[in-house]
Amino acid sequence: MDWEAFYNSFRQPDFVPGYEIEHRLGGGAFGDVYKARKTSIGKAYAIKFLKVDDDDQRAAVERELDLVSSFASIDHPNLVTIEDQGAVMGVPYLVMGYAGEETLARRLKEGRLTMPEALRYVTQAARGLVALHERRIVHFDLKPSNIFIRGDNARLGDYGLSKLLEGGRMTLTFGRGTPLYMAPEMLVQRADHRADIYSLGVILYESLVGEVPFHGGEGGTFVVRRSDGPPEFPDDFPPVALEAARACLRLDPDDRPESVREALGMLGQSALAGDEITFEFPRLTVGAGSASPAGAAPD
């Protein structure tokens, strides 16, 4: 693949037919994402160009793209939409709804989450995950940078190539992604939907504490969890989220909630999109000096 020629050409008008590429939004294990404008109506979209470095990767990508029609049929307020697909200069791409450039990862880095916000965003991401799991789609790369925030609404994205993490592509994400959010079993055996539940537990913990529950080894190397001991929960960790966090972070998948619906139930929340999100907790703080009001946190 001549990537130099690709990047020298991709900003040309109509490089992707009907779209004008604007600027890079980010990148990850499977490719780079750019903001684009549909020239006919001026509407913003996100286009993900998929990395294919060899024939084996290309074959895997093409197999997954055959399933995009099933992803594109999902219409859920807590999922980023998948609008179209294609290929240009031999590089496959996905056209996705533009969910903005604010992510949960960015909000956490800036320390701007209150408890109501943290719990609301995690609940909404979990509702999007329910919609995927009900269609037998497992995300396998759930992390704060894949949760997009616009106003009071959170949308889960980057699920269109989820199954590429099965059967030989796991090492790609471990080499380029963020393994601290991944279930331990993904390193040693095939995983199922309960790996997403583990990742949801990591995100829930981090959103409320400001750091992930389990860290890597010296020098930032990743260490596989072998003990089922729970992480340390700060004294100000909200009781309403304690049961769900502990359950989702269990080492053995059989000990975790069987479904995201069950995990949401532990949080006292419905799995239905649009249902009110209300938590009760004492007046505490999250992160560096961000105050959290007591009482209800309506959606």
Instruction: Give the integer Cα–Cα distance in Å for 207 and 198.
Output: 14
Angle made by CA atoms 205, 193, 251, in degrees to the nearest 5:
50
Q: What is the DSSP letter of 79?
A: B
Q: Report d(CA 185, CA 198) in Å as an integer.
A: 10
> Does the annotation mark 53 as catalytic?
no
Q: Which of 127, 131, 165, 125 is nearest to 146 (CA)?
A: 125
**What's the first-to-final CA gap in the chain, in angstroms?**
47
* Helix intervals (H) in 134-184: 170-176
**Which residue of the set 55, 56, 141, 252 is catalytic?**
141
Q: Using CA atoms, how far apart are residues 112 and 240, in angstroms rounded to an integer?
A: 21
Q: Which helix (H) or strand (E) holds 243?
A: helix 239-248
Do 231 and 294 contact (CB within 8 A), yes or no?
A: no
Residue (of 174, 72, 177, 92) closest to 132 by Cα position: 72
Distance in angstroms (rounded) separating the CA atoms of residues 93 and 162: 15
* In 89-247, beta strands by DSSP E: 91-97, 147-150, 153-156
Assigned token pair, 53: 């470095």
What whole-number distance in Å separates Cα of residue 193 and Cα of residue 185? 12
Is-contact 270 281, C-beta < 8 A?
Answer: no
Residues designated as active site = 141
